[in-house]
């Protein structure tokens, strides 16, 4: 049974950055109610309203994995690890985006799967075998008829975006060799709780995994966890290493039981923990608004840094308008001169000078704060301050 624990109100689609500001109303189809529930049986956290994949992932998807040094470094390190540990003859990535990971592999070794045509074009152009398609059983069979099987399947921040998880894992199991390895990484719900990062919820994040829920989910498909790594990416993620249950050649590391035990200690199997999280989110909203209003009373200027999907959730849940945040800066070319979803707040192409005469910078990309602080030493030296809502609204 799925029990509701969080209501983030009516929200526009995240990652849809409009060219002109359009006042959205509840009556209009563009808004959906962002409510989140916990399945007491499967331990899976999911959205109640699921937007069809084809609406979310089209030919104009703006997010590019290569946009930050943090991510490209993380992918480079991972490619070395995969080669050393598993030495795959054939490697498949579900949600290959702009090729940030696969560019570290040989072209004849890789299959890319990417539903967004603007991104699939990039890896095709670079010479990587790319299927511009959604991950499902049809595609899995199509790949099987051409390549037979795949040794390592990898997917980062993608499987939680797909509605039908049963089909996802069936399609993976269909294609994996007997000794094959599946590696997935996604934001960790334990980190969400610790950081009170409710902005991990938006229409694309249909599920937020915990080790507890992944363990249960994959068991149904004859798969099991054999290792878990903690990552700093996306505000705290877990990388799950998965094998076939009947593959006894691979040892199960104690990282698996350790993570499960930690999650149980935090009460991730218990609905009351989720209710508590929901209540703390309401307080976080009030505290953030209080903080922004206090600053604006002093006529000081606040801008946003990183026009993230996460920030879209915060702005719309807290009803933050351009009388509080003047504009956002972002390095992504496709977000330039667009508007934050649902809000009359413009996104300007990042330039250092846009931080001149700014008193406070709200971190839309708080998950990259280290990289941003390094880049903005001059702003900090001049007395500029950052604002974040993670783990609680405050000035840094």
Tell me how far apart the alpha carbons of residues 177 and 307 are, in angstroms, rounded to a whole number.
40
Q: In this structure, how many other beta carbons lie within 10 angstroms of the beta carbon of residue 87?
A: 9
DSSP 149-179: -EEEEEEES-GGG-S-HHHHHHHHHHHEEEE
Q: How far is the CB of 386 from ligand TYD (least distance, A)?
A: 13
Q: Are 324 and 296 contacting, i.e. CB atoms less than 8 angstroms apart?
A: yes
Residue 250 DSSP code:
S
CB of 339 to ligand TYD, least distance (A): 14
Q: Which of 30, 269, 287, 371 binds ligand TYD (CB under 6 A)?
A: 371
**Cα distance between residue 97 and residue 367, in whole Å:** 19
* Residue 376 interacting with ligand TYD (CB under 6 A): no
- Min dist CB 197 to ligand TYD, Å, is 10
Nearest approach in angstroms of CB 351 to ligand TYD is 11
* Binding residues among 303-322 for ligand TYD as defined by CB under 6 A: 306-310
Between 111 and 307, whose beta carbon lies closer to ligand TYD? 307
* Tokens representing residue 82 in the block: 């995969």
Binding to ligand TYD by residue 332, rule CB under 6 A? yes
What single-letter DSSP state applies at residue 57?
S
Map the footprint of ligand TYD across residues 143-162, applying CB under 6 A: none
Please state whether the peptide bond connecting residue 391 to the residue before it is cis, i.e. omega within 30 degrees of 0: yes
Compute the distance between CA of residue 125 and CA of residue 132 in angstroms, rounded to an integer. 13
- The DSSP symbol for 317 reads H
When binding is defined by CB under 6 A, the residue of 225, 325, 345, 372 that contacts ligand TYD is 372
The answer to whether residue 367 forms part of the interface with ligand TYD (CB under 6 A) is yes
206 in contact with ligand TYD (CB under 6 A): no
Length of the chain: 396
Q: How far is the CB of 13 from ligand TYD (least distance, A)?
A: 12
Residue 64 in tokens: 């590019």
Candidate segments 117-125, 220-228, 272-280, 370-378, binder of ligand TYD by CB under 6 A:
370-378
Beta sheet of 2-11, edge-to-edge order: 2-11, 32-39, 45-47, 207-208
Using CB under 6 A as the binding rule, the residues of this chain from 60 to 99 that contact ligand TYD are: 63, 67-68
In the set 175, 365, 387, 390, which binds ligand TYD (CB under 6 A)? Answer: 365
Question: According to CB under 6 A, which one of 149, 247, 255, 331 is a site residue for ligand TYD?
Answer: 331
DSSP-derived secondary structure letter, 102: G
Q: Which of 368, 388, 390, 393 binds ligand TYD (CB under 6 A)?
A: 368
Residues that bind ligand TYD (CB under 6 A): 63, 67-68, 306-310, 330-332, 350, 365, 367-368, 371-372, 375
């Amino acid at each position: 049974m799925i029990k509701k624990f969080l209501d983030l109100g009516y929200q526009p689609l995240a990652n849809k950055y409009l060219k002109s500001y359009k006042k959205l109303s509840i009556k209009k189809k563009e808004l959906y109610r962002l409510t989140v529930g916990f399945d007491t049986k499967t331990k899976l956290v999911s959205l109640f309203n699921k937007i069809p994949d084809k609406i979310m992932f089209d030919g104009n998807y703006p997010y590019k994995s290569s946009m930050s040094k943090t991510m490209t470094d993380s992918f480079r390190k991972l490619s070395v690890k995969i080669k050393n540990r598993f030495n795959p003859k054939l490697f498949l990535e579900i949600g290959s985006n702009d090729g940030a990971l696969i560019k570290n592999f040989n072209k004849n070794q890789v299959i890319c799967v990417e539903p967004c045509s603007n991104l699939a074009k990039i890896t095709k152009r670079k010479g990587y075998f790319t299927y511009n398609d959604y991950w499902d059983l049809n595609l899995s069979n199509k790949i099987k008829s051409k390549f037979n099987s795949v040794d390592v399947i990898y997917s980062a921040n993608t499987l939680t975006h797909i509605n039908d998880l049963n089909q996802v894992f069936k399609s993976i199991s269909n294609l994996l060799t007997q000794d094959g390895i599946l590696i997935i990484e996604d934001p960790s719900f334990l980190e969400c709780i610790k950081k009170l990062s409710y902005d991990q919820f938006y229409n694309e994040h249909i599920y937020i995994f915990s080790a507890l829920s992944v363990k249960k989910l994959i068991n149904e498909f004859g798969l099991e966890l054999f290792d878990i790594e903690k990552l700093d990416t996306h505000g705290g993620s877990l990388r799950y290493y998965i094998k076939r249950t009947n593959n006894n050649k691979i040892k199960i590391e104690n990282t698996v039981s350790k993570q499960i035990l930690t999650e149980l200690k935090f009460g991730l199997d218990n609905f009351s923990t989720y209710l508590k999280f929901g209540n703390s989110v309401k307080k976080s909203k009030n505290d953030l608004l209080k903080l922004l209003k206090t600053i604006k009373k002093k006529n000081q200027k606040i801008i946003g840094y990183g026009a993230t999907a996460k920030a879209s959730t915060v702005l719309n849940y807290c009803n933050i308008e351009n009388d509080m945040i003047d504009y956002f800066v972002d390095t992504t070319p496709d977000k330039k001169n667009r508007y934050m979803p649902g809000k009359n707040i413009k996104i300007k192409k990042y330039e250092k000078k846009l931080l001149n005469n700014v008193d406070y910078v709200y971190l839309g990309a708080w998950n990259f704060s280290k990289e941003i602080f390094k880049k903005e030493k001059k702003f900090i030296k001049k007395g500029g301050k950052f604002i974040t809502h993670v783990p609680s609204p405050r000035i840094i």
